[in-house]
Amino acid sequence: MSCAAVCAPPSGLGRHHGFPSSPSTVCRRRGRASYTIRACANSGDADDSGGGLLPRMVLHDSLEAAGVVTDHARAAREGFATQIGRLTRLNAETSIAISRGADLARAALCIAAEDDSLVSHSSVPLPVDAFIARLDDLSTGFLAAGFLPPSGAPPEVFFDHLDRYLYVHKGFRRTNVASDARAMYLHSTLTCRSGSALMLSLIYSEMLKTLRLYGLLDFDEEISFPHDLDGCPRGYDKRRSKFCDEPNIMTAKSLLVEVSE
């Protein structure tokens, strides 16, 4: 899928420019965000295994009653609910850099798949697995392109290399969500290499998790989430963090709630 196919009207999510204010979108997002908050609050309870909370699909039912096919949208919502169900209460309050249980990237892509299906009415679902593969390619590309610093290099050097790879070599940049709502969709960010601070943080965290699985990180990593208008997420050594850094840490729950709104 090309950037033009994702970003340019009138195809697919290109119609999202101006779409977020429509009644159906407001209904969908409120319902999804409310479900996310309730699910995170109940995760880990003795009487709730995570799968007991079923997402309400009032909008989908209404659309089907009007003759609109919502099979792909329903499947995407169920995929999102599955990931939410895997998030324990402890992990929900954990930084996205180390969060376990739920696949945050897949959850974000399920949201994109649901919205894409309801907006474009396409007979083909958004290829979630293909975009997961793109995320993996970013991590392997970091190694293949020679950006991995020498063994034993301090964390500051590692993050400098990672930042240069992601923001210079690969050309990812931050976009203002107020000017383009598509910046909140992970598949659009991966395709166009332009997205919100939230999506860039998610990509950054997924790369760190993969590199840790490869055994390439021998320190505790953290991500500083920017609260200004143009900053990009940056990694740092958690051992050098301060109390004042806490507001700049994005938790799994915060990310999922913001993405689902």
How is residue 23 written in tokens? 């009644």
**What beta strand segments (E) does 129-187 contain?**
173-174
Question: Model confidence over 29-40: pLDDT tens digits?
Answer: 545 655 566 566
Question: Model confidence over 88-101: pLDDT tens digits?
Answer: 989 999 999 998 88
Closest C-alpha among 74, 84, 83 to residue 114 = 74
Q: Are 239 and 194 in contact (CB under 8 A)?
A: no
Q: Are 223 and 95 in contact (CB under 8 A)?
A: yes
Question: Model confidence over 195-245: pLDDT tens digits?
Answer: 999 999 999 999 999 999 999 999 999 999 999 999 999 999 998 877 667
Q: Are strands 221-224 and 234-237 parallel, antiparallel or unpaired?
A: antiparallel
Q: Are 216 and 153 in contact (CB under 8 A)?
A: no
State residue 178's pLDDT score. Answer: 75
